[in-house]
Amino acid sequence: MNPALILVIEGNTAIRTGDGKTFPMENEAVHCVSAWRRLGGKYKNIPIYCVCPSRNTPSKKAINILKSFGVKYYQKFLLESDSFKCGWYNKPLGCQWLEEWIPEDVLIHIDLDAYLIKEPTELFFYVPESFDAKIQEEKNGTEYNTGFIVANKNKGFYKKWFNHLMEDSASLTNRVEIANLEELILGSKDRLNSFNILNWATSRIDSPGNNFNTKDYDFIFSESNKENYFFIHAHLTQKDIRFIILMEAKAQSRRINKCDF
């Protein structure tokens, strides 16, 4: 098993959804990578690849910070990104481009707003050879959380994901359906024979919701939940991130570094 993280990034002004909403993707990428390098334990130094497949490129400052964490960054404009109805489609586009050529055999896509909160177990990186990928199932298998995907490279999961997304998005006009399709397609009845996905079962990659607050932190680390949660997955404010890092440092009795923020 030879795992690598694969990230897809754009500039902070990239429009992600049909309503024109943007997210600070550069900031999220820096905190995502920083958390992994701090808390990944024996996996903290696995290769991390990051690609920007659109014209909306990150700032030089953000790129340099990512590189300082050992991230291999690629600015590879892919023409398909110009025609997307939703910016989220750049995720499978970038992932399938990386899948084509990087040498590692287990390719782990992580959303930029997914922050590791403790060392992952070896089971995180294991997908039986009979499966394409391991993804957390939601809504009784009608939808999957694509914030953390562990895929066997030789199965070509990311290419299949992208190709089916392009086929099914062509006829969509509903804004909500367009925005959610990259997750819905994995549980689509029409695609049941296209993907062989293993559910994550009890290991949670989500926080209680995208509207994170300090009570969520207490919930995640309660005795009943702390063994099951590995990530906080939410579009956090800088204040939220500071709080999480301070709590993490306090728990580990370690000094805060400026780059943590």
Superfamily for the 3-205 domain: Spore Coat Polysaccharide Biosynthesis Protein SpsA; Chain A (3.90.550.10)
Q: Where are the domains of the chain?
A: 3-205
Collect all residues with Cβ–Cβ distance below 8 Å to 179 and sequence separation of at least 6: 17, 18, 86, 88
If we measure between CA atoms, which residue out of 81, 82, 71, 87 comes closest to residue 29?
71
In this predicted structure, what is the pLDDT of residue 258?
A: 47
In this predicted structure, what is the pLDDT of residue 261?
A: 42
Mean pLDDT per 10-residue section of the chain, whose length is 261 residues: 94 66 83 92 96 94 96 96 84 96 96 86 86 81 79 96 85 68 74 78 50 60 65 74 66 51 42
Other beta carbons within 10 Å of 179: 21
Distances in Å between the Cα of 94 and the Cα atoms of 38, 43, 98, 136, 139 are 25, 23, 6, 21, 26
Rounded to an integer, what distance in angstroms lies between the CA atom of residue 51 and that of residue 37? Answer: 18
In this predicted structure, what is the pLDDT of residue 171?
A: 72
In this predicted structure, what is the pLDDT of residue 11?
A: 87
